[in-house]
Structure 1
Amino acid sequence: MRMKLIGILGAASALALAVTACGLGNGGAATGAAQAGVTDALIQTPPDEEWLSYGRDYGEQRFSPLTILTDQNVGQLGLAWFSDLDTARGQEATPLVHNGVLYVSTAWSMVKAFDAASGKPLWAYDPKVPRETLVRACCDAVNRGVALYGDKVYVGTLDGRLVALDQKTGKVVFEKTVVPNQEDYTITGAPRIVKGRVIIGASGAEYKARGYIAAYDTQTGAEVWKFHTVPGNPKDGFENKAMEAAAKTWGGEWWKLGGGGTVWDSITYDVANNLILFGTGNAEPWNPAAAGRSGDSLYTSSIVAVNADTGAYAWHFQETPEDRWDFDSDAQITLADIKINGQMQHVAIHAPKNGHVYVLDAKTGKFLSAKPFVPVNWAKSIDPVTGRPDINPDARYEKTGKPFISLPGAGGAHSWQPQSFSPRTGLLYIPANIAAFPYMAAKDWQPSSIGFQTALDGFATAMPADKGARDGAMKATTGALIAWDVAAGKEAWRVDQVSPWNGGILSTAGNLVFQGNAQGQFLAFSADRGQKLWSFPVQTGVIAAPMTYSINGEQYVAVLAGWGGVWDVATGILAHKGGAQRNISRLLVFKLGAKGQLPAPPAPNKMVLDPPPVSGTPEQIARGGDLYGRYCNVCHGDAAVAGGLNPDLRHSGAINSPEGIKTVVIDGALHENGMVSFKSALKPDDVEAIRLYLIKRANEDKALEGR
């Protein structure tokens, strides 16, 4: 790894804190609780100068009380130091800072530690995740962060391990495979620490996963409790009353495909009620008819609360019953005390993928309000008493047999990119996507041994090779930074953005909001009005959320840059709405008065389409398109247009040779790069059909480009 150091070197580290771990809530400290270092008490009330957990505090507000940086002086912010990373994939993590050391995870679940003032590298850890894991990772080889507790750093790896590292050395203390299997599950989310336990779930709802959240002992990794989010096979009995009740809301043999409902991100601890609140993912498969699924399918696309000590069910609120649009509820859940109708209430605030801002009573889950923050057409309205949506009949595409273009789309009105809440302004800051998605049920669909199990027809809904259609889709696909007045239930201000898939948010007591965007800018706005105050070109798209800390009276702002994630790999030409971003993965740290500069970016690749002539029968090409839509587009892009992170197969030399593409797709010649063999699902004739489809698509786009 190449390191550039800018600014003052050798700044002193803060004094180590030794605080006795204390129990919170009703249950007291767990037996494995640490006795020094980062404690429950510190996480609950973090020092102003530190950032000790993913959302900074248990309530996941992502608000810093620091006021060294303000709306009056932020224009003097400059680059203090940066580190080039050795993982050229999407970067989604939030760094943590404790005792003058910055800890951060990167793509492929690597972890690094730096002197937080100077940028001096202290140690690096590589869990050596097999690159073949990428085939079961829905949305890039990303990792959203680490957890600190006692003298350890915790990370969940893409291949499903929980790893504890020594904070001083990065040496492995323990590692344990915690997913049920390493074929359908991955871990991309950041762990949380609650009462001496590591809390984390897993990803995999597009595969054959059964969702869950679990608590593990911080000293050994032993499982303490687990709560499943969907019921298993009724013949095996139910783990608890909650699963028995949930089973009544499912139809068909849902358990054969796992059911989905994975807890791949949002986890919040409500100290006042000793509850862990978490969001759950979509039901699987997306198309309910393919598995005979009917009913609400609890507890998918919901917020669920469980007792922090035992994992016992407390309450749930389902935001998207019958989810068939991938409207996960895994976006960050924020706790706050808000005056509603003249009374202060302790509430959970959530802006999930389905396009509404929900406000719930944090203790009981009682529905208080839901208002759309982007255009919505999948639901006609939300019942003001129950919070249940009135679903648009056209949105039930498996029943109509017709395509449905949904607003929002599967990327979500708000996805994993963290929101932020400022108690100073009372505003929730949401990184919003305004982007549609076409759904159509696949005919005669059967599950396969590899790849997505959504039961959608990705070929029929692929972007056509038509300039008018493409221009219209591009124009309609945008993004926004939305400041939402939670008490009033309405937008306070917004900053319109060129494209979706912009970075997470940080708000501060200095009346500042920070966000990076898909165009390669890192920006600061006034928190009260949304006025742009400062920007810095970071040379690549930013999707991660910034954080801030202070050392020796100087405030720093840190952010990971590195374009990627599901929007890049799966959305085809729409991934280029913000410009053809290259992945230049870096950790960047800013402070007042710094004068650092980045090296010149590499020259852009100028790729010219030069395919062989179209060949094959129309039937072969159509079959190839159907197979591409099912097995290939999630990585290589809709209609074979890649976003930039993964290879664009229209340009691949393999499409010139039937034997060459077979060597890759069937024989697995590139498995070490993440392109595993698909021989369990595809035969040589299938691969040849895909090749012929790719040749046709390359020729169509060459004609559109006028070459």
Structure 2
Amino acid sequence: MTRAIPRSAIVVTGAMLALALAGCRNAEAPATPQATLATSGVTDAKIAAPGDDEWLSYGRDYSEQRFSPLTQISDTTIGKLGLAWSADLETARGQEATPLMHDGTLYVSTAWSMVKAFDATNGKLKWAYDPHVPRDTLARACCDAVNRGVALYGGKVFVGTLDGRLVALDQSTGKPVWEKVVVPNQSDYSITGAPRIVKGRVLIGSGGAEYKARGYLAAFDAETGAEAWRFHTVPGNPALGFENTAMERAAKTWSGEWWKLGGGGTVWDSITYDPKLNLVFFGTGNAEPWNPAPMGRSGDNLYTSSIVAVNADTGAYAWHFQETPEDRWDFDSDAQITVADLTINGQQRHVLLHAPKNGVFYVIDAKTGQFISAKPFVPVNWATGFDPATGRPAVNPAARYEKGDKPFVGLPGAGGAHSWQPMSFNPKTGLIYLPANIAGFPYAAAKGWKPSDIGFQTALDGAATAMPAITAVRDGAMKATTGALIAWDPVAGKAVWTVAQVGPWNGGTLSTAGNLVLQGNAQGEFVAYSADKGRKLWSFPAQTGIIAAPMTYAIGGQQYIAVLAGWGGVWDIATGVLAHKSGATHNISRLLVFKLGAKGTLPPAPPMAKLVLDPPALTGTPQQVAHGGQLYGRYCNVCHGDAAVAGGLNPDLRHSGALNAAEAIRSVVIDGALHENGMVSFKSALTADDAEAIRQYLISRANEDKALEKARPGAR
């Protein structure tokens, strides 16, 4: 950042006057080199106004509406839709990407940040790229080895890798053109989001707000990878000064020593460009750690859990709107941000539509950030109301769990009422089609918590809130945990229709001019609904849960619909028994492509393995089991599931052979015997005695659940 030069120090000659003027630039609007704009292939103009037949950016165009004007596949023809082709993927993790289609080629990223290019008509593989992400990256990546998509520009394909690189690939061959590490370090940061292209630059942020990350959004030249600008979302150490006045203002909303853990506020998903205003809007993540007490954190903690707008050319701050002040519930604002023109109170408004994790649907003026409306779209108990003039929430005193001794069961929970799964907006119906989660989460502050060198840094007590092996408690939690597809009227601030779903964590949506909404679900169905009424019109058994959003394109007068199938993500790996609310499901990672009249079929799904609990007898003391439960809750449950019940992607440790021998689990937890599989050594935080305590806890949990199964066959 250029600093102002005192005029008393300047000798005013022609050359020195130019230097002085350069030095006196507004500190928030630094000079940045101009990018070379693409003149062929995918250009800025094409992203702004793509042809009806193509899908050129994550949300199809800059507005992120995920609406297609194609009508060949419609509410009257959908019954003829069939599988045209499919492609099996070698990455058996959660699949979250939206494919892009340009000039007859379908480009898709998969788990582990791999990229593939297919002939969009028949599925023939044109090329494949593997960035060879080290598998131990999982230890710092929340949550799962997912990737949400690529960007196209000029003759290149861009992908962010889980280990923090930005890679430019040749669009015709898949060979790397350039790559660079774009995160501050490769121990606390990761990338799972899809890059966006704005005026010859590639925009990308990072994940890591559960680790020790300081959030940012950065822009890189598409030709060279050179960094053009970077906007931090939280202030750094005040003793080192601030990059700009936006950071200086933000620091006044923090207390304690927040910077020692980075502060959070990561930009891990939503990035939206508005060419009309030349502004980039992006959402920011939670403050770190979630529990504010250990770091002495208080105040609103700007710019966490906010929408922030910056100048597209310089990255200079324009405005912000904070949706969840003093966030302690992991209510990221990273969900997709949609731009639309709506008539509100008789006036045409250019607005942002946003449904973040906190369960509230916001309408915000795109130019100024002025609050327009805030309406809960699911049950909410962390706030008792919202100021009608400012949108500021009145926080429920019980929700400040760190101030008391009792856990707080928050609605929504940390999984979010709406997370990264994209919503879509249909300008014909005026409705948003929103995948919603209706699920609580128990928050309890850890006592005497200190940061560690590895694992989540949330300062929560995962042992105190673990699901007990009590049938009534589990049944009650299961019953209260559901999902919904909501058709939301953003002007009226209410649902027009709702489709109840068995469980949460269903896929993103696509809306089309053919009066369709398409969505995959956690039960393994790919479903088409009528956009006006929500009537179920068609479905396809995908054999696996679908969490990604579909897209559509046309070639030679034939419309296709494509979706990635593959169950995973945070709900699968972290929520224990609740991960199975929609039924046990395989991860069968595939790209599925449909068209009218097609008759394709999938091979039979492999049978579900039936694991029988057969643990050794408990030999540990109650004190060991309690200590092991505390350690498991802090270091293990985010990957292996709440209360040691895994969702399916990662090993269920109740069935581990390592339970039979102390040296076996020690070799894994302390010595890192499974390092290459992603299970890194925890020796920087745990001792051999700690590993044994975790083993005894797992044995205890396995025996509890074995008894539960014996009492009620089929219970987990």
Taking structure 2 as the reference length, what is the TM-score of the superposition? 0.95
2: CA distance between counterparts of 1:313 and 1:696? 53
Contact 1:30/1:197 (8 A) holds in 2: no
How many residue pairs align between the two structures? 681
2:264 maps to a residue whose letter is G
Residue number among 427, 432, 451 corresponding to 2:431 in the alignment: 427
Distance 2:610 2:710 in 1: 16
- Give 2:465's aligned residue: 461
Q: Distance in 1 between matches of 2:365 and 2:405?
A: 39
How far off its partner does 1:156 sit?
A: 0.1
CA distance in 2, matches of 1:305, 1:702: 53
| Alignment partner, residue 16 of structure 2 | none
CA–CA distance in 2 between the matches of 1:28 and 1:156? Answer: 23
Residue deviations 1:112-165, cap 9 Å, x none? 000000110000000000000000011000000000000000000000000000
How far did 1:271 drift?
Answer: 1.2
Distance across 2 between alignment mates of 1:570 and 1:32: 44
Matched, 1:377 2:365: no
CA distance in 1 between counterparts of 2:706 and 2:169 reads: 51
1:529 Cα deviation after fit: 0.5
Structure 1 residue runs of 4+, over 6 Å off? none
Question: 698, 704, 708: which is aligned to 1:704?
Answer: 708
Output the CA distance in 2 between the equivalents of 1:606 and 1:223. Answer: 51
* CA deviation map 1:550-603 (0-9, x unaligned): 001110000000000000000000000011111000000000000000000001
Structure 2 counterparts to residues 350-389 of structure 1, below 5 A:
350-389=354-393
Distance in 2, Cα, partners of 1:31 & 1:503:
36
Task: Indicate yes or no: 2:211 matched with 1:207.
Answer: yes
What do residues 584-629 of structure 1 show as CA deviations (whole Å, max 9, x unaligned)? 0000000000000000000110100000011211111000000000
Residue 277 of structure 1 contacts residue 306 of structure 1 at CA under 8 Å; is this kept in 2?
yes
Q: What CA deviation, in whole Å up to 9, does each residue of 1:275-333 have, x standing for no partner?
A: 00000000000000011000000000000000000000000000000000000000000
Alignment of 1:478-517 (within 5 A): 478-517=482-521
Q: 551, 554, 562: which is aligned to 2:558? A: 554
SS of the equivalent of 2:425 reads strand
Alignment of 1:343-354 (within 5 A): 343-354=347-358
Change (3 A) 1:28 1:133: closer
Give the counterpart of 1:122 among 122, 126, 150. Answer: 126
Matched, 1:527 2:531: yes
AA partner of residue 411 (structure 1): G
Fraction of identical pairs, as percent: 77
Structure 1 range deviating more: 30-39 or 668-677: 30-39
1:671 counterpart residue number: 675
| 3-state secondary structure, aligned to 1:415 | coil
Match of 2:7 in 1: none
Which residue matches 2:455? Answer: 451
- Cα distance, 1:401 vs structure 2: 2.4
Match of residue 440 from structure 1: 444
1:646 lines up with 2:638 in the alignment: no
In 2: Cα distance, 1:679 partner to 1:33 partner = 49
Aligned mates of 2:135, 2:47 — CA distance in 1: 34
- Secondary structure, counterpart of 2:663 in structure 1: helix
**Is residue 203–residue 220 contact of structure 2 (8 Å, CA) maintained in 1?**
yes
Secondary structure at the counterpart of residue 273 of structure 1: coil
Separation in structure 2 between the aligned mates of residue 31 and residue 586 of structure 1, nearest angstrom: 37
Task: Look up the match of 1:102.
Answer: 106
Given candidates 537, 545, 564, the residue that maps to 1:541 is 545
Q: Does 1:335 align with 2:344?
A: no
Contact 1:29/1:195 (8 A) holds in 2: no
Counterpart residue type for residue 215 of structure 1: A
Q: Which amino acid aligns with 2:240?
A: D
Query: How far, CA to CA, are the matches of 1:606 and 1:541 in structure 2?
Result: 19
Q: Residues of 2 paired with 1:662 and 1:75: CA distance?
A: 56
Kindly provide the amino acid, as one letter, of the partner of residue 690 in structure 2: D
| Partner Cα separation in structure 2 for residue 228 and residue 94 of structure 1 | 27
Q: Name the counterpart of 1:67.
A: 71
Q: 2: CA distance between counterparts of 1:311 and 1:690?
A: 47
1:205-240 alpha-carbon deviations (Å, 9 max, x no partner)? 000000000000001111000000000000000000
Supply the distance in 1 between the matched residues of 2:274 and 2:117 (Cα, whole angstroms). 29
Q: Which runs of 5+ in 1 are unaligned?
A: 1-26
CA distance in 1, matches of 2:427, 2:572: 34
Mapped contact 1:514–1:546 kept (Cα < 8 A): yes
Match of 1:241 among 233, 240, 245: 245
* Structure 1 position 132 matched with structure 2 position 169: no
Structure 2 counterpart SS, 1:153: strand
What is the TM-score of this pair, normalised by structure 1? 0.96
Pick the aligned partner of 2:665 from 661, 665, 671.
Answer: 661
**Distance in structure 2 (CA, Å) of the matches to 1:476 and 1:136:** 31
Partner residue, 1:405: 409
Partner of 1:635: 639
Give the Å deviation of 1:30.
Answer: 3.7
Amino acid at match of 2:382: W
Q: Who is 1:216 aligned against?
A: 220
User: Any idea what SS the aligned residue of 2:185 has?
Assistant: coil
Give, in angstroms, the shift of residue 489 of structure 1.
1.0
Q: 1:298 aligns with which of 279, 296, 302?
A: 302
SS at match of 1:117: coil
1:194 corresponding residue in structure 2: 198
Paired AA for residue 398 in structure 2: D
Structure-2 separation of matches of 1:482 and 1:519: 18
Alpha-carbon distance between aligned partners in 2 of 1:230 and 1:425, rounded to the nearest angstrom: 38
SS of residue matched to 1:699: helix
Query: Distance between the aligned counterparts of 2:142 and 2:117, measured in 1?
Result: 28
Match of 1:320 among 310, 317, 324: 324
Q: 1:286 aligns with which of 290, 294, 299?
A: 290
CA contact (8 A) 1:193 1:199 kept: yes
Q: Quick one: which amino acid aligns to residue 406 of structure 2? A: K
Contact 1:28 1:195 in 2 (8 A): no
Q: Quick one: which amino acid aligns to residue 501 of structure 1?
A: W
**Partner of residue 93 from structure 1, selected from 91, 97, 102:** 97
What is the alpha-carbon root mean square deviation over aligned residues? Answer: 0.9
Tell me the amino acid that sits aligned with residue 454 of structure 2: I
On the 8 A contact 2:32/2:228 being kept in 1, the answer is no
1:255 aligned partner: 259
> d(CA) in 1 for partners of 2:344 and 2:200?
34
1:575 to 576, 579, 582: 579
State whether residues 29 and 196 of structure 1, in contact with CA within 8 Å, keep that contact through their aligned partners in structure 2: no
Quote the Cα distance in structure 1 between the aligned partners of 2:136 and 2:654: 23
C-alpha contact 2:672 2:681 (8 A) present in aligned 1: yes
Shift in Å, 1:488: 1.0
